[in-house]
Chains A and B, each alone.
Chain A
Amino acid sequence: MTRIRVAGAVRLAPALCLASGVALAAPATVQLKGRIVGYEKLVPEVNAEAQRSPQAWYSWRIPWALRARFPLLVSREICVVALAATATPALDPVLIKVTGGRTNPVTLVVSPGTRIAFKNADPFPHDLTSGTANWSRAIMQAGGTREWTPAAPGVSEFRDDLFPSVRTFVVAEKNVAAFAFPSDKDGSFVFTLPPGDYTVKAYFGGNPVGRPLTNVTVPQRGPAELKEPLVVSADGK
């Protein structure tokens, strides 16, 4: 049996076999809880671009709610990572679902060598394109899956030639020990980590965002909790 980590939950899949987003043969792990704040004003670049050329995107767009604002789903858009002091091995294979005009998650941060599986969860084709290495263009039929592995550190962007709202970022970082996606309800997130010192960092739109938390120590016994929230606003305040 293979377990594929999917957008903050763990699901079973027949082909891949790894534990949650933690390296194999890890020692006893401890839960580290935290929370992000300051994400209310974040707007994905693809949505901002669409607003800059309205004539190309719609005929009518009229505010209806009393306080219209961008409905950011942090569970899809923001990826929080715990970076170890030393390089980490590849993480569990990760599944990215393509559906609903975007991918789930939109931003993913993993260590190089982590296998990524893109699955078309829509009942119609998608055409993911990327300038990254080891990726060739091919139509993904409904239910189809494509795998790709980032070989080296860097940011890889994936777009869908059929759906312009789809823009996905896979960031390969050397020392990623674990990643998590905050809750849409309150921005909380949970890491499962071996004891040690970490830096907790958030990524949005393929780029680091906010002020990272450094010297975060995971004790031998848990659970542990971050003393302060991770601020992810653009100005870091």
Chain B
Amino acid sequence: MMVLSRFWYALLGLLAATAVGFAFALTFLYNQREDSHNATQLAADSQTVEWSFKIDSRRRLDALLPIAVNPGVANHTAEIVYAAGSAEAPKIAGFRLELQKALRTVSAAAKEANGGAYAPDVVMVVGRDSRVLGIERVLAEAGRGHLPGWFDTLEQNPDFELGGYFAVVDALGGFERDDVWQLGDHLFLVAARPIIAEGSTQPIGAIVGLKAIDDAFVKTLAKSTRTSLVFFARGKRTSAGADVSRDPGELDAVSDELSALPRNPEFVNKMRTEPRAIRANVGATFVRLPGEATMAGFAVIRQSDFLSSPLEAQARLPQSFREHLPVAALGGIAALALLIGLLLTYAEHTLPLRALRRQATELKDGDADSLVPTKLRGAYRDAADAINDGIERVLIKRGGMSSRPADLSAILGPAASRTPMSAFALPGSEPPPAAAKTAPAPTEPPRPASSASSEEGEWLRVYEEFLDMKRQCGEPVEGLTFAKFTATLRKNRDALMSRHACVSVRFTVYAKEGRAQLKASPVRDS
């Protein structure tokens, strides 16, 4: 039946399916963890960028201090402010030139401080009456900053003012303050400080530093925070940058999201959105910048490292894992599984086949007239029975004497109609009395006293073989005594001898349909 082999194959199949399912489950868990990790990382990245931006603002405020407290800048600013509307008014043009000169000198120093890291692109001096009194390019002039072209027209625009912006109002009111402005399509990081003239407690003006939030600025910020950043204002991207460790392609992912942000309550009221997926494997969180550019902000973008299948995981395994992979142990497990399978196949397939082949060889060589099914198992036994039946059928068809034992069933009637002893019962014989069922187990039969009773000796062997077969088949043997057995055989022998005119009858034991059976074979030659 090859039960164990088949069970082994089923077990191996189950293990393989479990392993594949486990690999898919791990892939799912990995992707889920990656998604969760990405959301957490996005929140952390946005906080990092936000704080970095704040620190940058603080340092830009500090970088303006040398300009704001410069005596030349403060005094000339005061001269211009006080001269307005007074008899000194004609001197204002000269005062402005002096202010410009002082502004240039002190800005040059600011440009060199800290390598110009926090210097503004441009500084402007705003008088107490909110008019712009002086403009000086700091980094912009050195080619290290970027200003839109309209900055070149400011000096020729007498109407241009700055005094209404919250940051400038605060600076003129005595506060140092940062801000973010959107002027046209450009975002600016603004630092404003009061200018206090000597001997005064109130600001005479304000110094305003503007740093363009352009690609160069954002790239520096992205590099220091190891993020991918897109700055935007009113639904339009203004600048972007990514750390070298990030994929620059991530930056384009948020473009479609920007236009809806001014209507997003989270963005407008809570100043930031929860991290969310904006593409299958790209997440982003949007942070609103504090400042007068009310709908400006930045997006932190992060690409998820999802696995599309367990095979992708295998491809991505690092060399260090491969080096520590227990190859010997895994190979041993595979070899053991193979060996168990081979052993089971050998025991359940090769050995019975070999027995069948041996019997077939004996049959071919004339050492046996038929196969012996009782020495075979399972399907091989059935095959041996079928072969024996076939041989018999061919012999009879060709008119020869059957060498096959006579089928006792044919003589005694169908097995199903008989009692456990029915294999020995002649047609019409009485079933054994009920008491026989409770009869004691058969006792040891008496041994034949002499060689004259060789037939009795043969029957004794058949009797023992029959008892063994019944026990193998799980049939009861109680009440089946040797005397009853020989009586039945004798009747059987006599009937066959008279029918076939043979000299003797040979009985053999076999099992059929799970029951022990006897076959009687007429023997013509003694």
Residue ranges of A at the interface with B (Cβ–Cβ < 8 Å): 47, 50, 55-71, 73, 75-76, 97, 99-104, 121-125, 142, 162-166, 183-185
Choose among B160, B201, B288, B291 the residue that contacts A66 (Cβ–Cβ < 8 A): B201
List residues 378-412 of chain B with CB under 8 A from any CB of chain A: none
Closest Cβ of chain B to A49, distance in Å, is 10
Say whether B121 faces chain A, with CB atoms less than 8 Å apart: no
5 new A-B contacts at CB < 8 Å, known A67-B202, A76-B130: A56-B271, A56-B290, A73-B129, A97-B159, A100-B160
Whether a CB of chain A sits under 8 angstroms from the CB of B292 is yes
Provide the residues of chain B in CB contact with A73, threshold 8 Å: 129-130, 163
Nearest A residue to B58 via CB reads: A60
B202 touches A65 (CB 8 A): yes
Q: A68-B174, A70-B173 are in contact. Are A100 and B202 (CB under 8 A)?
A: no
**B173 adjacent to A69 (CB under 8 Å):** yes
B contact residues vs A (CB 8 Å cutoff): 53-54, 57-58, 61, 85, 128-130, 150-151, 153-154, 157, 159-170, 172-179, 182-184, 193-194, 196, 201-203, 234, 271, 288, 290-292, 294
Identify which of A57, A71, A76 gathers the most chain B CB atoms within 10 Å of its CB: A71
Residue of B nearest to A62 (CB): B176
Complex: how many Å from CA A164 to CA B234? 13
Minimum distance in angstroms from A69 CB to a CB of chain B: 6
Assuming A61-B175, A64-B174, is B165 touching A101 (CB within 8 A)? yes
Q: Tell me if B294 and A164 are in contact (CB < 8 A).
A: yes
Point out the residues of chain A lying under 8 angstroms from B163, CB to CB.
Answer: 73, 100-102
Nearest Cβ on chain B to A17's Cβ, whole angstroms? 22
Known: A60-B176, A64-B194, A70-B169. A123 touches B164 (CB 8 A): no
Docked pose: A181 CA to B102 CA in angstroms: 34
Partner of A102, one of B154, B157, B160, B164: B164
Contact A68 B130 (CB under 8 A): no
Cα separation A184 to B160 with both chains bound (whole Å): 18
Q: In whole angstroms, how far apart are the Cα atoms of A59 and B191 in the complex?
A: 11
Whether B183 contacts A100 by the Cβ 8 Å rule is: no
Closest to A44 in B: B169
Cβ of B169 and Cβ of A71 under 8 Å apart? Answer: yes
* A residues less than 8 Å from B168 (CB atoms): 100-101
Contact of A67 among B154, B159, B201 (CB under 8 A): B201
CB distance from B509 to the nearest CB of A (A): 101
Question: A99-B161, A121-B159 are contacts. A57–B175 as well, Cβ < 8 Å?
Answer: no
- Provide the bound-state CA to CA distance between A66 and B199, in Å: 11
Given known pairs A56-B294, A57-B292, the reply for A63 and B165 (CB within 8 Å) is: no
Q: Which residues of chain A are within 8 angstroms of B85 by Cβ–Cβ distance? A: 183, 185
Which A residue sits closest to B191, measured CB to CB?
A60
Q: Which residues of B contact A47 (CB under 8 A)?
A: 166, 169
Shortest distance from the beta carbon of B425 to any chain A beta carbon, whole Å: 107
CA of A65 to CA of B271, assembled, Å: 31
Determine the residue in chain A with the shortest Cβ distance to B152: A123
Q: Nearest 9 CB-CB pairs, A to B?
A: A102-B164, A65-B174, A100-B161, A101-B164, A68-B174, A101-B165, A124-B184, A123-B150, A121-B159
A71 contacts B128, C-beta separation under 8 Å: yes
Q: Is B292's CB under 8 angstroms from A65's CB?
A: no
Q: Taking CB as reference atom, which chain B residue is nearest A61?
A: B177
Q: How close is B74's CB to chain A, nearest CB, in angstroms?
A: 12
B193–A64 CB distance below 8 A: yes
Looking at the complex, which one of A58, A66, A71, A122 makes contact with B177 (CB distance below 8 Å)? A58
Report the separation of the CA atoms of residues A71 and B165 in the bound assembly, to the nearest whole angstrom: 12
Distance in angstroms between the alpha carbons of A56 and B182 in the assembled complex: 15
Q: Is the CB of A59 within 8 A of B178?
A: yes
Knowing A63-B174, A66-B201, A184-B129, say if A121 contacts B157 (CB, 8 Å).
yes
Which residue of the partner chain A has the closest CB to B206?
Answer: A71
**A100–B157 alpha-carbon span in the complex (Å):** 12
Q: How far is the CA of A70 from the CA of B166 in the complex (A)?
A: 11
**Is B176 within 8 A of A64, CB to CB?**
yes
> Using Cβ atoms and an 8 Å threshold, which residues of chain A touch B150?
123-124, 142
Partner of B178 from the list A60, A162, A164 (CB cut-off 8 Å) is: A60
Residues of chain B within 8 A of A66, CB atoms compared: 174, 201
5 intermolecular pairs with C-beta atoms under 8 Å apart? A56-B294, A60-B54, A63-B174, A65-B173, A68-B175
Name the distance in Å between A157's Cβ and chain B's nearest Cβ.
16
The answer to whether B166 and A165 have CB atoms under 8 Å apart is yes
Tell whether, in the assembled complex, residue B271 and residue A55 are in contact, meaning their CB atoms are under 8 Å apart: yes
Closest chain A residue, CB of each to CB of B160: A99
Bound complex: CA of A65 vs CA of B68, how far in Å?
A: 12
Contact B203 A71 (CB under 8 A): yes
Asked if B196 and A65 make an inter-chain contact with CB atoms under 8 angstroms apart, the answer reads yes
**Interface-centre pick from A65, A103, A184 (highest chain B CB count, 10 A):** A65
Q: List chain A residues, Cβ under 8 A from B288.
A: 56
Docked pose: A56 CA to B267 CA in angstroms? 11
When chains A and B are docked, how far (Å) is the Cα of A162 from the Cα of B316? Answer: 49
Smallest CB separation, A227 vs chain B (Å): 25
Chain A residues in 8 Å Cβ range of B271: 55-56
In the complex the two chains form, what is the Cα distance from A99 to B161 in whole Å? 6
A123 in contact with B153 (CB, 8 Å): yes
> How far is B159's CA from A123's CA once the two chains are assembled, in angstroms?
10
Instruction: Name the residue in B128, B154, B184 with the highest tally of chain A Cβ atoms < 10 Å from its Cβ.
Output: B184
- Which chain B residue lies CB-closest to A160? B164
Give every chain A residue within 8 A of B182 (Cβ-Cβ).
162
Cα–Cα distance between A23 and B69 once the two chains are bound (Å) = 50
